[in-house]
Every structure is written in structure tokens, then in C-alpha cells.
Amino acid sequence: MTSQDILQVILTGVTNGSIYGAIGIGFVVIHRITGVINFAMGDLALIGAFAAVVLSKMLPLWLAVPLGIVVAAASSTLVYALAIRPLRRQQLLVQVIATLGVAIAVRSLLQIVFGSGAYQLEAFTAGPAINLGGATIARQALWVVALTVVIVVLLTAFFDRTMLGRAVTACAVNPFAAGVVGINVALMAALSFGLAGAAAGTVAIAQTPLSVITVLGGLTLSLKGFVAAILGGLDRIGLTVVGGVVLGLIEAATTIFAGSLYTTLAGLTLLLALLIFRPAGLTRLRVSTRV
Amino acid sequence: MSIIEVSGLRFSYGPVEVLHGIDLKVDEGEIIAVIGPNGAGKTTLLNLLGGAYRPRSGSITLRGDDVTRASQDSLVRRGLSLVPEGRQMFSSMTVDDNLLLGTYARRREIDLDGQREMVFELFPRLRERRDQLAGTLSGGEQQMVAIGRALMSDPSVLLLDEPSLGLAPQFVDLIMRTIRRLRENGRTVVLVEQNAKAALRLADRAYLLEIGTVHLEGPARELARDPRVVAVYLGGDAAL
Amino acid sequence: MIVKVVPVAAVILVIGLAPLVITDSYTQGLVVNFGIDALLALGLVLLVGYAGQFSLAQAGFAAIGAYGSAIGTVRFGWPPLLSMVAAALVAALIVYAIGRPILRLRGHFLAMATLALGEILYLLLTNSEWLGGSSGFGGIPPFSLFGLSFEDQRSQVYLVLAVLAIGLWFALRMKSSREGRALRALRVNETVASAHGVNAARAKTKAFVLSAVFGSVAGSLYAHTMMYVNPAPFGVMHSVEILVVAVIGGVLSPWGPLVGAAALTLIRETSTSVIPSVLGEGAVGAGEEFTVGLLLILVLVLMPDGVVGAIGRLRATFLPRRPATPAEPAPAPPEPVAVAAPPAGPPSRRVRLEVSGLTKRFGGVTAVGDVDLVLHDAEILGVIGPNGAGKSTLINLLSGVLTPTEGRVLIDGEDVTRAPAHQVAGLGLARTFQTPVMFGGMSVLETVLVGTYTAGRTGIVRSVVPTPGVLREERALRAEAERALARCGLAHLADMEADKLSLGHQKVLEIARGLAGKPSVLLLDEPAAGLNRAEKQQMTALLRDLRGEGIALLLVEHDMEMVMELVDRVHVLEFGRTLRIGTPAEVRADPEVIRAYLGVDEDEDDEGAIRVDH
């Protein structure tokens, strides 16, 4: 193993990890406010990516990308309104199963429209891959990493600095008290779905020029994003991205040393091990063991 | 004119009716005490007034407008704030953030700095603690935050649910003096208390609730002398 | 009994006739698929419907069964039955290892963990050259048993339907067995089920193991009917479809999967015939998936308890089987008050519950501080105190729901300080809850039967085979439950649905449920809250009788009239500490107690102060 290999593992790991982290943020934002694990997270992000691909055929890229993000956010909000909100009096279990229904419906709808072929978007900035001490990183990968950082910064600022962001957090901390001060808890839940869709959608779009997208990619995205979210304790935005990068590095190392056949297997095994041995992830949160 | 009028208010948790038709009115500038033993329905009544629950039947008016089914948000905008039982902090947020969120429903009209200054004047302790997480405060300090948060929306009517619960005597005293000051500033107060003595000393009129009905009502002074109050709390022949 | 015989007869009739009526091989294939899907979903119902968790690895367990049977028969030359059992064992072991830790957690960790597990299994199969990779391998012999070979398709229809019938029998027996009742109670409220001796994590793990075994067996059947295995049908999508089958049919009834599987078969058939003409040939799979996803959401929103649940509700609306309010029986003959305990018992009475230095801190807050307490046979101890005094915390500490920070709790001399709730229940302590918790869908008698849990021993698997021993135990538990009901004057309501009872009856029913476990100590958390005057009087009489029978009662209650009338001694708490212990009269006249209840009296002059007449 050369230092070049190690550098390549790091570059690939950080790039892919950013994607997982951003999807994970989607899980975290929704889970914090509503308690729901949204199985459709990856598929909703893909809606954004496919929208951007379609829009880029008729609009300039700088317009197609933001519109794609808007589509992802809007779809996610719509999912809340149509599938989650009507089930608010049911157990959480029922709401979670409903997101599974959404995941299937979204995926098959995409398949009906786009077929199962691969789609790609042109890179945001043209140019050859950058060589770093023998390892390479695509320019688009820098976009992916940078956008993930921007998402973390923006969301953190939103939750910590703005009135609306505090109101959303307040619903997570104490929904009853949030109602008492006049915060519309349902509206905030819808907003959290929108934000999750936007965050996950942004990175799903940004990674489309890097590797192709297919309609079947949503489930994999969801699973990997969930690993990141678990590592972030399903609560911390920054730690979720760290968790995503950890997964990305493990996968990249597995690919180089054991072959790509085992990449996904490594991630899934990590998820299973985490759930069994360390459900609180990288955090010190207490995951209650008794109800 | 009455600022709040409640008539025939009924409420059930599932199949269990806990309020069996409450009538109550509150005049402008009054302090009304609602007392009674545990399980009498005091907290339920206050949560209904504050819009946290929806009644099964009956009506609530605020300054003559029907607000029986009004949202909590619209009630706060109409100048009615609830200080819920158990203080209900945003415990992982700072005191400042808790106060800030108190202005949420009226965030466009409220002068944030001025209002916060008013709260800090009332509770100087909170100024020292403003950057501390609310969950780390003592019970008395949390109660100050809860009242302060409700005052941030500059309400004309304040609904207080058991503000003295679990507090040491000096805090109880402070809270009661604060309530008196709030009235002097022209606010109307509805005070739910198990601590009947303190509440009756403070209030103009009082309602004694027992198992979901109004058992006694009248001037606070008269209730304070009424042996039936003790009987309702501790049992005995006088209750019959 | 008629209700039970009719469906069983119908099932036998269907199994017997179906293969005779259905003769074309296409439809036979459909029936086989239907049976396998229904069996898979039935396994899931054991988990979702009885334990309240869901799994996305059901197709994975089917893969274990299918590949296990294939490997066993083809590679090792084992007989089919042995291969099937070995595969099921493997599935059970995997599930046990994963279920034990994860089922302790709240939330949806199990769903994600099983999703990951399913994917891992799928990838392993796809990547394994030994197992033929993504193209799989064939040559699997037909299922055979005692020389009987299920070779032609008609016999396979028999086989699948028969196994399905066995599964259905299993699920139905289990539902009304001791462990099944425990699981159903657990699903509604874990705390309450634990209070009756149910070990929640273990019971859930058992349900999970069973559901995997069902999945594995269904997979084995699949291998023996297809005679060929490859990874494709065992992907996560199939797990989701099985969940959909369970949800559509309704997860609360073993009959649900049958309805759901029929619905799925119908959707598949319609999709294949309709979608090509609308969306084109290529969209069949996607169109079918879309229908499934949409249907899942619609069913959840419109009829969350599925088709069978919806039918049940319709039937309840239009065909009430029992009068809504059964006639009250003639006033029960007055209970023989043989051993009415004297208020102050002789010193020889046995100490049932002994508590010393009991302390519970939450963070910096002391909810209960240094409480000492003794409770004897045939005694009622009242625990009172203003709001927030720590009364409920005390009950939770004594019953093992909470673990004390310091101090000791002895029941009949045995240290239970750190024992979890289900163990405490086994040692003769029962409790009721402030708001009665009824297990939805259970009758009054079944509800009380949950209370007999600690008295029985029959496990899930044994309960399925009605051996004399099993039947004898069930009869004994039933008799005990009926006795407890009669004891509390509820015998006439035994067949009613428990959650349809009035609050007053529900409160009494909780006591009956507690008594069914034959406790020596009964903790009552506000039994009179919300009752009207007449109901309170009945409650008072009942508690007095229970004392007369020698049970040690601890009564937390706000209704002072009741407390003062009923109890032998009163223990007053304030801020979690003992304020006073005494007779009702002493406590009521105590100025400290009055202060605790009515407030601080710091007035110099007594104007506005409340005077108390002694």
C-alpha cells in the first residue's frame, strides 16, 4: 500500500462521505422534529436530481440546479402533507411504514417516467481532474464537498440564529411549549421535511455529474445516509457529516483493498454493527433501553 | 365588561369526562384564583382557556369574541398567554432563546429589547442567567423563565398554572408579589393554584373546583374563611 | 365454540377442494405463490401485530430457507425436511443474535437493522460463486415426507396450503395463549405488561424469532416448488411487498395475510394485463410497484387496521353480537365478611413490604428522599401529599418501573431493590395505574388472563399443540381469572370488550387483573380518580373486602374522604420526603399537613388566613 493509495482513499472517502452526510442530514432534520425515520429520503433526493437533469435540457445549468433543489424540497413537503400529516393520530410505526410506501411509489414513478437507464448532468465547472500527489479528485467532487459544508453552515446558522430556526428546534425540544407560545407545530414539521428535501436534493444533484444516477439508486442512498445519521445520533448535523465521511472512508478503503464487490457490504455491516453495539453513534446521547 | 366568559364548558380525555360544565367569568384587571384539590380539573380548565385543548362542548369568549376553537397562535396574538403547569421549558435552549420564542406569535409587533428589559426588571436573576441553558436552572428560576416567556408577548391576560408548585417558600413569595405587580400594570390574571392560602390572599375572586365542577365561587376573602374549602382539600363532613 | 369451528372447517374444505377445482397449471402456480406470500406475511403479523415492531428482512429469511433447503438437498444430500428444519434454525439463530440487543431500543432501529440484514444476505448470495452468484442453481428435488413426494403441481398446491393452514393454526392458537396475550398486551403498553410479569425484550425476541422461522419455512417451500433458486426474488422489494400484504390485510388478525396475499396476487395479475396497454411493456414491474406503494399509503390513511380490521368494525356496527350494556346481575350476595381485620392489627401480623431509605434523584432533583415504610398483611396504608410530592415515583420505585438511587425494598423479606418490573411482579406485587390501561381488542376475561401470566409456564411453541398439560394449565388460569372477576363483581361483563367499559368498571378491572396474579401486595395508584360518588363507594367497599382477605394494600389517592374513611395509617409525603405518618384523624388535624396542602401561612395577622377547627 502506497501513500498514494491512502491519499486516494481519503479523497474518494471524503467525497462520497459528503453525499452520505447530506442525505443523513435529511434524516436527522426530519427525525428531530417529527420522530419519523423517513425511508423515502434517498428517493426524494433523487427526484431533485432527475428534475435537474430534465431542466438542464431546456435551461442553463445555473438555473436548473437551484430549481432541482426546489423540486426536491417541494416533493418532500408534499410527502409530509399527503402521507405523514394524515397519520398524525396513529402510532409512529404507522407513519414510518407510510414513508416506505412513499419510497416505493416515488421510485416506481421515476422508473415509469425515466426507465431504468443511467442519467448524467454536465459538470458545474469544466476541466480535468485535479492531481494531488498522485491521487486525483474530480472538480465536481470539490463542488460536492463544498456544498455539503455550505449546507451544514447554513442549517446550523438557521437553527441557532434565526427566529424561525429556533421555532423549529423548539418543536423538537418541547412541542407542548411550542404550541403555548403560538408556534404552529404542524407547519414546522412540514418545514423540516422541506429543509431535509433541499439538503439531500442539493447533494444528490451535485453528485450527478460525478457518477450517473439511476432510478434504483434511492434505496442505497437512504441506507448510507441512515448510517451517517445514526453515527450523528439522529440528532447532530455536524456529526452526521462526520459519520458520512467515516462511512465513505471505510467504503473507499474496502474498495481498494478488497475489491468493489464488498464496498456496499462493508457499509451495511457497519450499519448493522452500529445498531447492535452503538446505537448512539458518535454522540453521547442516551438511547433509552427501556420504554 | 367581562374579558373572559366561559359557559357550560365540558371536556373529556377519551371516554372520561373531567370537566362537567364549567361557568366562569373574569373581569378586566382582576386576579381570579381557581383552587381545588388534585384531580379537580384546574389544569384542564386553564389549558382549554389557553387553546391547548379543544372542549367537547360549551363556549369561551375573549372580549366578546368567540374563541372556543381559536388556535393557540391567534389567542397569543389577541393578548392571552399561558404559563403552563410544570413550567415547560425549552430546556436545551438558553434563557434568552426561551424569552425570544415568547414573542414568536407577535414577532412583528413586539419591541424585543424593550420587552426583555421589562422581564429582566421583574426578574433581575434572569439577566444574570440569560446565556444559561434553561434546563440547568433551579425550579424557581425556571418558573421565572416561564412567566417571563409568557410576558414577552405583552399579554393583557395571563393564565398561570400552579406557579408555586414545588417551590421553596421564598420563591413562592416572590412569584406571588410578581403577580400582584403584573395586576398593578393593568394585566388580568387567572391563577390556578393548589396552594389555596397564597392564591386566596392575592386574588379578588375565586372558584373552588371539585371533580370537574365549580363547588364554590365568590370573593377570595370569603372563600378564605370558608371551612368548606378545607373540607374539600382534606375530606370531612363539611364537604357534604 | 361455533365461531371457532366454522373457520377451521372452511379452511379444511378449501384446502381439500381447491386442488380439485383448480386444474390449470397457471392458476395452480398462482395459488402456490399466494400461499407462500401469505405464510411470509403471517410471520410478519406475529411480529408487527403481536409485538409492535416491523421487519424488512422477511424476504431475507425466505432466502435462508430457500438456499438452506437447496444446499441441504442438492449439496449435502439431506432429506428435504431436515434441510428445511436446519435452515429455519439458522434463521432463528441469526434473528436471536440481532433481536436481543435491538429490540431493547425504542423506535425504528429494528426496521433499519433488518433492512440492512436483508441487503447483506442478498449481496452475499449474489457474490457467492459457490451458490451460483446471481444466476443461482437448480436441481432441487421436490419436497418429500415419509416417502410421499410432492412432485406434480397439484400436490404442491396441497402442500403449500396445508403448511399455510398449520401456520394459521399456530398464529390463532398463539393469539389466545398465555404468551400471545402477553405479546398483545406488550404491544399496547410495555410498562403495564411488565407489571404483570412479562419480560418485554424476551417476549419480543421470541416473536421475532418465530416470524423468521415462518419466513424460512416459506422460503423452503418456494425452493421445493420452483426446484431452482436465485437471489432475485429475495430482494428488499419483496420484503416490502410482504409488509404491504400484512398491512393491507390487517396486522392484528392472523386472517389478514390471507386477504392481503389475495389482494397482492390480484394486483400482480391486473398489472400484467392492464399496464402494458397503458404504459407499455417495459413499465409492468414499475407500474406494479407503484400500485403497491400507493396502496400501502392509502390503506394506512383510510383503514389503518387493514381489511380484516375494517370488516370487524363493520360487523361490530351492524351486527352487535352482544347487548351493548349487559344487564347488571341481581345485587351480588353480600360477601361473607368473615375476617374483617381490626383497624390496628395484632403485632404478629406479617410484614409484606418493607422499604428503607428509599431515594430517587433525577439529575439534581430529589423526587423521593429517604422514605421508610412498612406494610403489613390485611392493612391499607394511604400515601397522600400535594402534587409533585413523589407519590407516583414511589409506586414506580416499588414496582420496579424505576430503579432507586439509594435505599432498599423488600417484598416478603426478599430484596427486590434492583429487580426489573417483570421480576417484581413474579414475587407477589401487583399494581394498578392512574389512567386504566386496557389492551385494545381484548375481552374483559382476556384482560384479566394477562394478569395470570406469572402463574403459568406454557411457552409459545408448546401452547400451539393442545396437549392435556397445556389445556389443564389454560383451564387453571381461566378459573383464576374468573375468580378474580367474580371477586370484583365483574363476572357478568367477562365477554365485553375491555376498552368499551365505563371508567368505573375499567378501574375495577385493573384491580381484578392485579388480583389474578394472586399478589400479597397490591399498589393502587388513584383508584378513585374520575369516579362518581356511587362508583367511589363501591370501590371503597371492594378495597375494604380485599383487606379483609389479608392482602396488603398501598393506596395513593387524592380523594381525602375515601382515604380518611378507608385506611389504617396515612403516610404523608411532601417534596419526596416523609412529612408525617399517623392515623387519618391525627394527620387531618396536623397543622403541618394542612400547610402542605393549603399553603404557606406566613401572615402576621390572621386576616385572610384559613382557620382550621380541630
Cα angle: C187, vertex C188, C193; to 5 degrees: 80
Grid cell digits, residue A2: 502506497
Residues C351-373 have a mean pLDDT of: 89
CB contact under 8 A, C597 and B201: no
Distance CA(A179)–CA(B52), nearest Å, equals 7
Distance between the two ends of chain C, CA-based, in angstroms?
Answer: 63
| Per-residue pLDDT band at C614 (split at 50, 70, 90) | very low
Grid cell digits, residue A66: 437551484
**What chains are in contact with C, requiring at least 3 Cβ pairs below 8 Å?**
A, B
Q: What is the mean pLDDT of chain A?
A: 91
CA distance C175 to chain B (A): 27
pLDDT at C558: 80
Q: Residue C397: is its pLDDT beyond 80?
A: yes
| pLDDT-wise least confident of B28-32, C132-136, C330-334 | C330-334
Tell which residue, C308, C286, C262, C414, has the closest CA to residue C351: C414
pLDDT at A209: 93
Residue B65, classed as helix, strand or coil, is strand
pLDDT at C613: 41
User: Looking at beta carbons, which residues of chain A come within 8 Å of C195?
Assistant: none
Q: Residue C346: is its pLDDT beyond 60?
A: no
DSSP state of A211: S
Per-residue pLDDT of chain B (240 residues; tens, 9 = 90+): 789 999 999 999 877 788 999 999 999 999 999 998 877 889 999 999 999 999 999 999 999 999 999 999 999 999 999 999 988 999 999 999 999 999 999 999 999 999 999 999 999 999 999 999 998 888 889 999 999 999 999 999 999 999 988 777 778 888 999 999 999 999 999 999 878 888 999 999 999 998 889 999 999 999 988 888 888 887 654 333
Distance CA(C295)–CA(C290), nearest Å, equals 8
CA distance C396 to chain B (A): 19
Q: Residue C610: is its pLDDT beyond 60?
A: no
pLDDT at B9: 95
Q: Residue C604: is its pLDDT beyond 60?
A: no
CB contact under 8 A, A93 and C52: yes
| pLDDT-wise least confident of B125-134, C194-203, C243-252 | C243-252
CB contact under 8 A, B52 and A180: yes
CB contact under 8 A, B104 and A167: yes
CA distance A69 to chain B (A): 28
Residues A260-286 have a mean pLDDT of: 84
Quote the strand ranges of C497-605, DSSP E.
521-525, 552-556, 569-574, 577-582
CB contact under 8 A, B199 and C599: yes
Q: Which residues contact A41 (CB under 8 A, 6 or more apart)?
A: A23, A26, A27, A30, A196, A200, A221, A222, A225, A226
Residues, chain C: 614
Nearest residue on chain A to B150, alpha-carbon basis: A181
CB contact under 8 A, A181 and B104: yes
DSSP letter for each residue of B126-171? HHHTTTSBGGGS-HHHHHHHHHHHHHTT--SEEEEE-TTTT--HHH
CB contact under 8 A, B235 and C562: yes
Distance CA(A271)–CA(A279), nearest Å, equals 9
The CA-atom distances, in angstroms, between C362 and each of A32, B148, B167 are 24, 25, 16
pLDDT at C336: 42
Cα angle: B131, vertex B137, B142; to 5 degrees: 100
CB contact under 8 A, C600 and B195: yes
Distance CA(C105)–CA(C107), nearest Å, equals 7
Chain-centre distance of CA B197, in angstroms? 16
| Per-residue pLDDT band at C345 (split at 50, 70, 90) | very low
User: Looking at beta carbons, which residues of chain A come within 8 Å of B76?
Assistant: 181-182
pLDDT at A286: 58
pLDDT at C2: 43
Interface subset of C 487-506, CB within 8 angstroms of B: 502-503
CA distance C302 to chain A (A): 9
CA distance A119 to chain C (A): 18
The CA-atom distances, in angstroms, between C159 and each of A283, C156, C182, C233 are 52, 5, 32, 21
The predicted-structure confidence for C67-88, as pLDDT tens digits, reads as follows 999 999 999 999 999 999 999 9
Burial C573-602 (b: 16+ CB within 10 A, else e): bbbbbbbbeeebeebbebeebbbbbbbbee
DSSP state of C380: E
Cα angle: C415, vertex C403, C543; to 5 degrees: 70
- Alpha helix ranges (H) inside C280-363: 284-302, 306-318
**Cβ contact C510:C488 at 8 Å:** no
Nearest residue on chain C to B198, alpha-carbon basis: C599
pLDDT at C23: 79
Q: Which of A173, A179, A182 sits opposite B90 (nearest CB)?
A: A173
The predicted-structure confidence for B134-164, as pLDDT tens digits, reads as follows 988 888 899 999 999 999 999 999 999 999 8
| Per-residue pLDDT band at C318 (split at 50, 70, 90) | low
**What chains are in contact with B, requiring at least 3 Cβ pairs below 8 Å?**
A, C
Cα angle: C280, vertex C282, C285; to 5 degrees: 110
Grid cell digits, residue A32: 428531530
Q: Residue C219: is its pLDDT beyond 60?
A: yes
Q: Which of B166, B172, B235 sits opposite C560 (nearest CB)?
A: B235
pLDDT at C95: 93
Q: Residue C343: is its pLDDT beyond 50?
A: no
- Alpha helix ranges (H) inside A162-280: 163-173, 175-180, 185-207, 217-231, 237-258, 263-277
pLDDT at C277: 76
User: Looking at beta carbons, which residues of chain B come within 8 Å of A179?
Assistant: 52, 72
User: Looking at beta carbons, which residues of chain C come within 8 Å of B225?
Assistant: 610-611
Strands in C351-362's sheet, in edge-to-edge order, are: C365-376, C351-362, C406-411, C414-415
pLDDT at C32: 92
Phi and psi torsions of C412, nearest 5°? 50, 40
Grid cell digits, residue A256: 481498494
The predicted-structure confidence for C258-300, as pLDDT tens digits, reads as follows 999 998 888 888 888 887 777 777 677 788 888 888 888 888 8
Nearest residue on chain B to C558, alpha-carbon basis: B38
| Per-residue pLDDT band at A1 (split at 50, 70, 90) | low
pLDDT at C561: 83
DSSP letter for each residue of C204-272? HHHHHHHHHHHHHHHHHHHHHHHSEE-SGGGSHHHHHHHHHHHHHH-TTSTTHHHHHHHHHHHHHHHHH
Query: Which residue(s) pair with B18 in the sheet?
Result: none
pLDDT at B235: 67
Q: Residue C325: is its pLDDT beyond 90?
A: no
Q: Does C594 touch chain B (CB under 8 A)?
A: yes
Phi and psi torsions of B232, nearest 5°? -65, -35
Q: What is the mean pLDDT of chain B?
A: 90
| Per-residue pLDDT band at C466 (split at 50, 70, 90) | confident
A interface mutation test: which of C98, C100, C108, C126 has the most A CBs within 10 A? C108
Q: What is the ipTM of this complex?
A: 0.93
Residues A167-193 have a mean pLDDT of: 95
DSSP letter for each residue of C111-129? HHHHHHHHHHHHHHHHH-T
CB contact under 8 A, A97 and C52: no
Quote the strand ranges of C142-190, DSSP E.
144-145, 148-149
pLDDT at A142: 95
B interface mutation test: which of A181, A188, A236, A286 has the most B CBs within 10 A? A181
The predicted-structure confidence for A7-64, as pLDDT tens digits, reads as follows 999 999 999 999 999 999 999 999 999 989 999 999 999 999 999 999 999 999 999 9
User: Looking at beta carbons, which residues of chain C come within 8 Å of B37?
Assistant: 558, 560, 597
Residue B35, classed as helix, strand or coil, is strand
Q: Residue A229: is its pLDDT beyond 60?
A: yes
Query: Which residue(s) pair with B62 in the sheet?
Result: B4, B65
For C553-571, give the secondary structure using H, E and C: EEEECCCHHHHHHHCCEEE
Q: Please state whether beta strands C569-574 and C379-384 pair in parallel, antiparallel, or not at all (unpaired).
A: parallel
Q: Which of C116, C290, C297 sits opposite A223 (nearest CB)?
A: C116
Q: Residue C544: is its pLDDT beyond 70?
A: yes
Which residue's entry shows cell 365478611?
Answer: C337
CB contact under 8 A, B82 and A180: yes
CB contact under 8 A, B76 and A177: no
Tell which residue, B79, B80, B99, B81, has the closest CA to residue B89: B99
CB contact under 8 A, B149 and A181: yes
| Percent of chain C clearing pLDDT 90 (strictly above) | 46
pLDDT at B64: 93
Distance CA(C231)–CA(C218), nearest Å, equals 15
Q: Does C534 touch chain B (CB under 8 A)?
A: no
| Per-residue pLDDT band at C594 (split at 50, 70, 90) | confident
| pLDDT-wise least confident of A197-206, A231-240, B161-170 | B161-170
Q: Does B46 touch chain C (CB under 8 A)?
A: no
CB contact under 8 A, A111 and C289: yes
CB contact under 8 A, C560 and B37: yes
Q: Residue A291: is its pLDDT beyond 70?
A: no
pTM higher than 0.80, yes or no? yes
The CA-atom distances, in angstroms, between C248 and each of A85, A142, C41, C315 are 20, 46, 10, 18
Residues A164-175 have a mean pLDDT of: 94
In chain B, what's the furthest Cα-to-Cα distance? Answer: 56
Q: Residue A287: is its pLDDT beyond 60?
A: no
DSSP letter for each residue of C256-283? HHHHHHHHHHHHHHHHHHHHHHHH-GGG
Q: Which of C387, C435, C597 sits opposite B165 (nearest CB)?
A: C387
Q: What is the mean pLDDT of chain C?
A: 85
Grid cell digits, residue A130: 485535479
